[in-house]
Homo-oligomer: A and B are copies of this chain.
Amino acid sequence: MPEQSPLETAEGDPFGPHNLPYGVFSTADEPDRRRVGVRIGDHVLDAGAAAVALGSPYAALLARPGLDALMGAGRTAWRDVRRALTAWVTVPAHRPDIEPLLHPLATVTSHLPYEVADYVDFYASEHHATNVGRIFRPDGVALTPNWKHLPIGYHGRAGTVVVSGTDVVRPSGQRKAPADPAPVFGPSVKLDIEAEVGFVVGAPSRQGVPVPQSAFRDHVFGLCLLNDWSARDLQAWEYVPLGPFLGKSFATSVSAWVTPLEALDEARVAPPARTEPLLPYLDDSDEEEPGGFDLRISVSLNGQVISEPPFAGMYWTAAQQLAHMTVNGASLRTGDLFASGTVSGPERGERGSLLELTWNGTEPLDLPGGARTFLEDGDEITLTAWAPGPDGVRVGLGEVSGRIVPA
């Protein structure tokens, strides 16, 4: 009996040929040679080598050290390359060429798959924004007056976006409790996570020309998982009046695999009903496809699931965020990354940050390793997610994980 081909993924495998996420990897033999990979089951296809072996015209986009060329090539190229890849991993005649170019996932090293241009973080979950408002501004209204009128966002630090698996050094900085006479300096004592979904821009746009919601698929290449590590004590002291800075800029982790938009066609859902009328550029009541994504996220701390935030309930969609981010004429570049903001659902077990899960440390989580409020050194956080795919099969969004090392 012949050995089963790695291309014959098990029925229901969330990384079957319906998914085909992109990444960049190197092997132990050639650690400095980065190559574009496509995940199939528990293997990675060297996509550039496959294109060359099969004489594909897409070698120019795939035989590269990063995804930037493919990302910048635009929607038609994305569709055509995905069609080609689907054929390469499913048509039996290609097997003799393709199989030797598969690497077991466990044997490769993943790298940041593209150079992050600008990184923008939004604040799109009404449940999260309400929780944070109640915790940080107990004397004010939970949602600021602008929240239902525009997707609030801010720029983060692109240079400290790291790939899943990278250790995160506990940041130091200033903190000051309201009762303290002056700020003190030291390692953060309220180190937190934010479970988010990132959207990766492929095709650029021109400065001065807004990108409407209807052009979402022309510019957004795919999705990743994102953990926006946050030092709550640093953030609380610094963020008035110009927003978060050092409380966020030390590290942001992203999953190694970028899921193409096309793999998530079955996951599109309508966002929640809007409770305030929207200005025309944000109104999505007449958009061709629903703007939401039904992604089920799971957050684990040292292997224990602590939350399952539902992405489908996000108030603002990624298409609205894209339209807002560019309505003032700001341009897009290949590699721009914008994130949803913390994904929190209405239930306690659906909150996407420890700030909310422990209500700023006042309600510790009871975990096998002991009670936990914020992150301790050595803690490892892993986000995973899946979405409904064709024929009831799940689409896996991979994982983003990181471990805290001491300051």
Contacts and interface: CB of A to CB of B under 8 A. Distances in A.
A197 interface: no
Interface string A323-334: 011011111110
The count of identical subunits is 2
Interface in A113-137: 117-118, 120, 123, 133, 136-137
Nearest to A336: B159
Interface of A: 117-118, 120, 123, 133, 136-137, 144, 146, 149-150, 152-160, 162, 169, 171-174, 176, 182-185, 207-208, 210, 231, 234, 237-247, 249-251, 276-277, 279-281, 324-325, 327-333, 336
Contacts of A183: 146, 149-150, 279
Given A328-B246, A330-B249, A240 B146 contact: yes
B146 A238 contact: yes
A149 B174 contact: yes
B155 A156 contact: yes
Contacts of A336: 159
SS class, residues of chain A in contact with chain B? loop
A230 to B, nearest CB: 11
Contact of A153 (B152, B173, B242, B247): B242
A328 B153 CA distance: 22
A169 B169 CA distance: 41
A2 to B, nearest CB: 47
Contact of A118 (B159, B185, B327, B331): B159
A152 B240 CA distance: 9
B153 A155 contact: no
B279 A155 contact: no
A281 B155 contact: no
13 contacts: A144-B241, A146-B174, A152-B241, A153-B242, A154-B244, A169-B208, A172-B328, A173-B327, A182-B276, A185-B279, A185-B281, A231-B328, A251-B329
